[in-house]
């Protein structure tokens, strides 16, 4: 990352962001369009981008009067092969298309009728709240919705609107309008130095460790900006809860945001027991059930403040009933007019109710996107806290920041940044948009967290150093290679093994060993490039390849199966084991060729990127790359490897070719040497891995 000029003009920053965002949306739309045009629903499903072979089981009216389609796997087709298994890449909150799945061979995802909607639930099936396009009477057994269906992720243009609006506002802002926070965040001013005396704090939670206390003190004392750097498992959220309580004690009003609903709900859940007046903004369908009692939408119907709304609702219902009774045209018209007035009154009272609820809350929580809603338009906050800030686009962070006085960002810039499609050279934005991309501009991958560290240096940051997740031996390499050897394993986790799980696990070579390395060097475990219909048909040179020359390694996949079986045979529950690999083609191979999930129900298979923020008792990491040229592709991104190796609590098993991988980068070389020296090193024999 090259250092950004200091200081940076907010207006030219905004101009650059607007072009980058336009290129990103265009890349996202182009990628979706190309995939749909060139692949069958089944292939897209196999790659985790869609769910195929569904049927409509029912429909109901959801929150906000929207139609919710309840879809389930088609029993006639049987399991596997791309049917819904609860673990595809489609998740709650995603914008998706529900489409007719044409029968027969050769059909692509671009064919068939469809509607757009938002996923509101996933589980055995998938539920989608749809917008326009589903006829009222259309339902099970009728129209195209009565046939076989599939669900595919689409580009979400809505998420760009608020970012664009925010950047346009910043672009046009006169210098005299900049807040002191804005000036500091662009390096026009330096942050006010923090004096030690200001930072006397009586901690409410006595269990906070020293680095957590330091971070809280610093974030309380800083005037404009504080970064809390939380490496994996170091209690970032734990620390933020104390910080929020301390701010509230100081009579400050707080807005807490995160890039995803789950990041926000995580905080709501942990804040709830403290009985503060808190409000969670956001569509109830997208919130965790456990936080619904704090949802603004729900409170607008159930709280005391909601009484004024209820009265009008009753009157409206009564009028509605009286319309049915009267046949006189003039009377009807009069009632309709009354209804119109009542509806207006209803909306006004609802707005008033929202204002009462929001302004009465000490802590408001919303996604970064949600913070741009009408509910917060005239609200002032003393501090904005952004959790998982290194997973958020900077333009997204500015949605709550334009009017803020102070910001606390929590995150880890040494894990993966948000995924940026326009950086993927396999996806070409439309030619007319491509020219908008400014030369040498910062990338969307540079987060606010990164940029501020480069701009103001480590003095605006405090790092949490005790981790509560990994066995000491699992932690050692990431600590040394990524975090300046600063991590410490909390005593409760430092020596934890699978054999001390709270159920019976046999002591074996695997369960008593926190770090295992199967070195597949020697050429018996070669990688392969996923066969891809976009490549093999070669009909259209612009169309996108489904797995983007994703790699798989069938022999290493057998080794994964072998190791997972050994763990499970020793008594480890499948739900306590995850297999993580950077390559989607390998995931598809494990899921569909070896059918690992069917064999070991509860076992989780995931991509490294998708597993960020998660943890498991035992994790098998399969590196896949094995070739003579020492090509490692995106294994070369050390933040990705850092995420992969910091997910397990008690057992990490790495499967990889040390010869190939070690050539990839100095970081990978160092990791391979570390594993050879410190792990239980095994040289597998392909002959032992066949199915028995």
Ligand X SMILES: Nc1ncnc2c1ncn2[C@@H]1O[C@H](COP(=O)(O)OP(=O)(O)OP(=O)(O)O)[C@@H](O)[C@H]1O
Residues 363-402, one symbol each (x = binds ligand X by CB under 6 A, - = not), give ----------------------------------------
CA distance 566 to 509: 10
With DSSP H G I counted as helix, E B as strand and the rest as coil, what are the percentages for the chain, rounded to 5?
45, 15, 40
> Which residues from 238-267 bind ligand X, rule CB under 6 A?
238
Per CB under 6 A, the list member of 2, 103, 207, 536 interacting with ligand X is 207
Does 346 contact ligand X by CB under 6 A? Answer: no
């990164």: which residue's tokens?
Answer: 450
Cβ closer to ligand X: 230 or 662? 230
Do 96 and 153 contact (CB within 8 A), yes or no? Answer: yes
**Interaction of residue 208 with ligand X, rule CB under 6 A:** yes
> Whose structure tokens read 């480069």?
454
**Can you tell me which residue has the tokens 């265009």?**
26
Interface with ligand X, residue 203, by CB under 6 A: no
Residue 212 touching ligand X (CB under 6 A): yes
Candidate ranges 107-115, 207-215, 562-570, 656-664; the one touching ligand X (CB under 6 A): 207-215
- Is position 656 an interface residue for ligand X (rule: CB under 6 A)? no
In angstroms, give the least distance from the CB of 213 to ligand X: 9
The piece of 112-120, 205-213, 616-624, 648-656 that touches ligand X (CB under 6 A) is: 205-213
Of 100, 107, 85, 117, nearest in space to 38 by CA: 107
Separation of first and last alpha carbons in the chain: 50
> Binding of ligand X at residue 233 (CB under 6 A)?
yes
CB atoms within 10 A of CB 79: 13
Contact 423, 445 (CB under 8 A): yes
User: CB within 8 A of 74, min separation 6: which ones?
Assistant: 53, 54, 55, 83, 148
209 touching ligand X, by CB under 6 A: yes
Residues 605-644: x where in contact with ligand X by CB under 6 A, - otherwise, as a string: --------x-------------------------------
In this complex, which beta carbon is closest to ligand X, that of residue 236 or of residue 650? 236
Which structure tokens are listed for 212?
Answer: 């957590």
Q: Is 230 in the site for ligand X (CB under 6 A)?
A: yes
Give 600 or 611: the residue with its C-beta nearer to ligand X: 611
Options 95-103, 125-133, 229-237, 538-546: segment touching ligand X (CB under 6 A): 229-237
Nearer to ligand X, 53 or 467 (CB): 467
Name which of 212 and 586 has its Cβ closer to ligand X.
212
DSSP letter at 391?
Answer: G
Interface characters, 568-607, with ligand X (x: CB under 6 A): ----------------------------------------
Decide: 462 and 218 in contact? Cβ < 8 Å.
Answer: yes
In the bound state with ligand X, the residue whose beta carbon lies nearer, of 25 and 409, is: 409
Is residue 52 within 8 Å of 448, Cβ to Cβ? no
Q: Based on C-alpha coordinates, what's the Rg of the chain?
A: 27
Among 232, 282, 429, 662, the residue binding ligand X under the rule CB under 6 A is 232
Q: How far is the CB of 615 from ligand X (least distance, A)?
A: 7
Q: Give 389 or 596: the residue with its C-beta nearer to ligand X.
A: 389
Binding residues for ligand X restricted to 34-93, rule: CB under 6 A: none
Token pair in block for residue 550? 């994703």
Task: For ligand X, give the closer residue by CB, 16 or 212.
Answer: 212
Three-class SS of residue 135?
Answer: coil
Q: Tokens at residue 332, please?
A: 């009807």
The count of other CB atoms within 10 Å of the CB of residue 314 is: 10
Kindly tell me which of 71 and 493 has the beta carbon lying closer to ligand X: 493
Indicate the residue whose CB is closest to ligand X: 235
Query: Exposed e or buried b for every residue in 612-645, given b needs 16+ CB within 10 A?
Result: bbeebbbbbbbbbbbbeeeebbebebbbbbbbbb
Q: If binding is defined by CB under 6 A, does position 476 make contact with ligand X? A: no
Do 619 and 567 touch, CB atoms closer than 8 A?
no
Residues near ligand X, by CB under 6 A: 207-209, 212, 230, 232-238, 468, 613
């Amino acid at each position: 990352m090259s250092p950004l000029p200091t200081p940076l003009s907010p207006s030219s920053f905004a101009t650059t962001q607007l072009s980058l965002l336009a290129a990103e949306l265009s890349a996202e739309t182009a990628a979706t369009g190309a995939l749909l045009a060139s692949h069958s629903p089944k292939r897209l499903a196999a790659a985790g981008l869609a769910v195929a072979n569904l049927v409509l089981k029912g429909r109901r009216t959801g929150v906000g009067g929207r139609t919710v389609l309840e879809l389930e796997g088609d029993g006639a087709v049987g399991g596997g092969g791309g049917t819904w298994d609860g673990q595809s890449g489609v998740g709650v909150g995603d914008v998706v298309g529900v489409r007719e799945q044409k029968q027969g061979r050769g059909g692509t995802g671009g064919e068939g009728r469809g509607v757009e909607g938002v996923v509101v639930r996933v589980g055995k099936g998938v539920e989608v709240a749809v917008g326009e396009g589903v006829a009222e009477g259309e339902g099970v057994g009728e129209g195209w919705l009565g046939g076989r269906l599939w669900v595919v992720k689409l580009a979400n243009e809505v998420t760009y609107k608020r970012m664009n609006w925010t950047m346009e506002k910043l672009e046009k802002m006169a210098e005299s309008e900049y807040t002191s926070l804005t000036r500091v965040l662009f390096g026009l001013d330096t942050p006010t130095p923090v004096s030690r005396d200001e930072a006397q704090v009586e901690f409410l939670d006595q269990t906070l460790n020293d680095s957590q206390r330091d971070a809280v003190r610093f974030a309380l004392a800083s005037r404009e900006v504080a970064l809390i750097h939380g490496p994996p498992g170091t209690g970032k959220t734990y620390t933020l809860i104390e910080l929020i309580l301390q701010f509230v004690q100081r009579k400050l009003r707080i807005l807490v945001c995160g890039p995803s609903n789950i990041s926000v709900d995580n905080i709501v859940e942990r804040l709830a027991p403290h009985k503060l007046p808190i409000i969670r903004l956001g569509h109830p369908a997208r919130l965790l059930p456990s936080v619904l009692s704090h949802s603004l939408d729900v409170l607008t119907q159930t709280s005391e403040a909601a009484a004024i709304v209820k009265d009008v609702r009753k009157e409206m219902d009564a009028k509605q009933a009286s319309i049915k009774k009267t046949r006189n045209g003039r009377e009807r018209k009069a009632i309709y007019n009354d209804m119109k007035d009542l509806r207006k009154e209803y909306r006004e009272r609802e707005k008033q109710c929202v204002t009462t609820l929001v302004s009465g809350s000490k802590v408001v929580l919303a996604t970064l996107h949600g913070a741009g809603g009408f509910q917060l338009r005239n609200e002032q906050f003393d501090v904005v806290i952004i959790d998982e800030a290194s997973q958020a686009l900077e333009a997204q962070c500015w949605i709550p920041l334009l009017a803020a006085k102070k910001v606390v960002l929590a995150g880890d810039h040494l894990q993966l940044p948000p995924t940026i499609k326009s950086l993927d050279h396999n996806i070409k934005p439309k030619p007319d948009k491509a020219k908008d991309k400014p030369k040498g501009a910062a990338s969307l991958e540079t987060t606010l967290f990164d940029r501020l560290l480069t701009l103001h240096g480590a003095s605006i940051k405090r790092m949490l150093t005790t981790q509560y997740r990994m066995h000491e031996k699992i932690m050692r390499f990431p600590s040394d290679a990524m975090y300046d050897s600063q991590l410490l394993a909390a005593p409760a986790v430092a020596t934890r093994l699978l054999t001390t799980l709270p159920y019976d696990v046999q002591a074996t070579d695997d369960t008593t060993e926190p770090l295992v390395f199967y070195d597949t060097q020697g050429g018996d475990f070669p990688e392969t490039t996923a066969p891809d219909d976009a490549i093999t048909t070669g009909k259209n040179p612009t169309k996108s390849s489904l797995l983007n020359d994703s790699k798989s390694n069938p022999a290493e996949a057998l080794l994964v199966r072998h190791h997972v079986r050994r763990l499970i045979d020793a008594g480890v529950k499948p739900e306590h084991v995850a297999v993580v690999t950077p390559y989607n083609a390998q995931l598809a191979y494990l899921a569909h060729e070896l059918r690992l999930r069917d064999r070991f129900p509860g076992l989780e298979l995931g991509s490294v990127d998708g597993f960020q923020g998660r943890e498991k008792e035992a994790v098998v990491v399969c590196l896949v790359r094995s070739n003579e040229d020492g090509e490692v592709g995106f294994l070369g991104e050390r933040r990705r490897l850092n995420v992969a190796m910091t997910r397990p609590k008690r057992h990490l098993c790495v499967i990889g070719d040390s010869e190939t991988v070690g050539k990839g980068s100095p970081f990978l070389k160092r990791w391979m040497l570390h594993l050879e020296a410190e792990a239980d090193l095994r040289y597998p024999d392909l002959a032992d891995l066949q199915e028995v």
